[in-house]
Amino acid sequence: MSAPSLFAEQELIDSVHAALKAATPLSIIGSGTKSQIGRPAQSDKTLSTSALTGITLHEPAEMVIAARSGTPLAEVERRLADKKQMLPFEPMDYRPLLGSAGEPTIGGVVAANLSGPRRIMAGACRDSLIGVRLVNGKGELVKSGGRVMKNVTGLDLVKLVCGSWGTLGVLTEVTFKVLPKPQRSATLVLHGLDDANAIAALSAGLGSPFEVSGAAHLPNGVERVSATLLRLEGFDEQITYRLDALKKQLHRFAAADYVEGARSAALWRSVRDATFLVEPRENAVWRISIAPSKAAKIIAEIKKSLTIRHFYDWGGGLIWLSLPATGDAGAAAIRSALFGTGGYATLVRGPADIRAAIDVFEPLSPALRVLTAGIKQSFDPDGLFNPGRMIAGI
């Protein structure tokens, strides 16, 4: 294990001190592939972690990997793949959807708390992240967590930082627990189900003992004939048995066939990256998180006032939705449909003027807003980092 690159880390600390002194807010980026997400930057200067690269620890037998925050995600995944391991949370790649270029960094993955279809079983980035080092807005180097997967020592700032979109500090190093890559992966496909039945089928699959690791539904319009997908991963013998068992269990919904290998992998990559909604490029794209049993009703409700294309992941718990980027890009209608359901909507693609005008992330209740502002203040009292990116005024 090599020590964190202290030189680059120190430079970063110096930059923060300089910004503090000059009272210059900073846009924190890795390689900038997701910089179009969130409210538009309100800072003149940019601080990049791109100089902080390199894997600092990989112990395959302990299932742990650590890397400096500017390390390309691809490098981390490659290193793991060499040892037949993977990041369990299947981080999505936003480049197709956003049309951005560059190599996503591992720090960016953490800042955005990325996840993918395996979220339902293996969690999001937050669930695999076990340690962070970051520079806070006072120019202090703070560490939380560590390199062991079970650790409840002190407040869990690891989770808090994960998904904070660079508003709390500049990550310098991140550590993950990892999993072995499954030996075999196959996807059961049911055709022709409507949204409600598809979600019921996915729920039945996810309620089965077969460890479904992906559960998506592509309605008519996304696919020519709607396709309901359930992914199984594991040992060879396991998959053979489970494909058959699950097929029988879901027979009451529709007959199923299955795909494997590259075809299955490509399918889930598309689901992960929401490539179905890349076109038309000028459309706005929303990501809605909701309890699966409410998903189809929400979509029906939204369709009453908006023309949309959509598909579901996470067994119906995640809705991807594309619609024309006019007016508020559907914000009011979507949020009113979600009111009281416990669901959340995030505008992940939209023109800057709309992103400046509406709440990109789900607005907070007054009490949560007070807490969020307090936490921001505790990390970054001068409001240096990505001010207003998540919430106007914070």
Partner 1 sequence: MGIAFPIPDNAIILRREAIISGLSALIPPESLITSEDERRAFETDALTSYRRMPLAVVLPTTTEEVAAILAFCNENGVKVVPRGAGTSLAGGAIPQEDAIVLGVGKMNKVLDINFGDRTMRVQSGITNLAISAEVAHKGFFYAPDPSSQLACTIAGNIAMNSGGAHCLRYGVTTNNILGVRMVLIDGTVVDIGSDAMDAQGLDLLGLIIGSEGQLGVVTEAIVRILPMAEGARPVLFGFETSEEAGACVAAIIGAGIIPVAMEFMDKPAIEICEAFAHAGYPLDAGALLIIEVEGSDAEMDAMLKKIVTIAKKHGVKTVKESKSATETAAIWKGRKSAFGATGRIADYICMDGTIPTGQLPYVLRRIDEIVKSYGLRVANVFHAGDGNLHPLILYNCNDPEEANKAEEAGNDILKLCVEVGGCLTGEHGVGIEKRDLMRHQFTDIDLGQQMRVRAVFDPKWLLNPAKVFPLDGRISP
Chain positions 178 to 237 lying near partner 1, rule: CB under 8 A, are 179-181, 183, 200, 203, 206-209, 235, 237
Residue 248 touches partner 1, criterion: CB under 8 A: no
- The residue (of 23 and 342) whose beta carbon lies closer to partner 1 is 342
Q: Distance of CA 67 to CAs 4, 105, 324, Å?
A: 8, 10, 39
- The residue (of 31 and 334) whose beta carbon lies closer to partner 1 is 334
Please, what is the minimum distance in Å from the beta carbon of residue 281 to partner 1? 25
Spatial CA neighbour of 176 closest among 109, 236, 112: 109
Please, what is the minimum distance in Å from the beta carbon of residue 116 to partner 1? 12
Please, what is the minimum distance in Å from the beta carbon of residue 144 to partner 1? 7
Spatial CA neighbour of 129 closest among 171, 95, 93: 171
SS3 213: strand
Residue 241 touches partner 1, criterion: CB under 8 A: yes
Which residues have a Cβ under 8 Å from the Cβ of 267 and sit 6 or more positions away?
187, 229, 259
Please, what is the minimum distance in Å from the beta carbon of residue 291 to partner 1? 4
Q: Distance of CA 162 to CAs 144, 174, 375, Å?
A: 12, 10, 14
Spatial CA neighbour of 114 closest among 100, 103, 102, 128: 128
Spatial CA neighbour of 382 closest among 5, 2, 26: 26
Query: Please, which of residues 128-157 interact with partner 1 by CB under 8 A?
Result: 136, 140-144, 146-157
Candidates 19, 52, 162, 284; binder of partner 1 (CB under 8 A) is: 162
Query: Please, which of residues 261-280 interact with partner 1 by CB under 8 A?
Result: none
Dist CA 208 CA 215 (whole Å): 12
Query: Please, which of residues 48-67 interact with partner 1 by CB under 8 A?
Result: 59-64
Sheet holding 55-59, edge to edge: 55-59, 64-68, 169-177, 129-136, 141-145
Residue 355 touches partner 1, criterion: CB under 8 A: no
> Residues 143, 149, 153, 159: what is their CA dihedral angle, to the nearest 10 degrees?
60
- Near partner 1 by CB under 8 A, which window of 24-32, 103-111, 261-269, 361-369? 361-369
Residue 20 touches partner 1, criterion: CB under 8 A: no
User: Going residue by residue from 277 to 316, which x/- string records binding to partner 1, judged by CB under 8 A?
Assistant: ------------xxxxx--------------------x--
Residue 94 touches partner 1, criterion: CB under 8 A: no
Residue 238 touches partner 1, criterion: CB under 8 A: yes
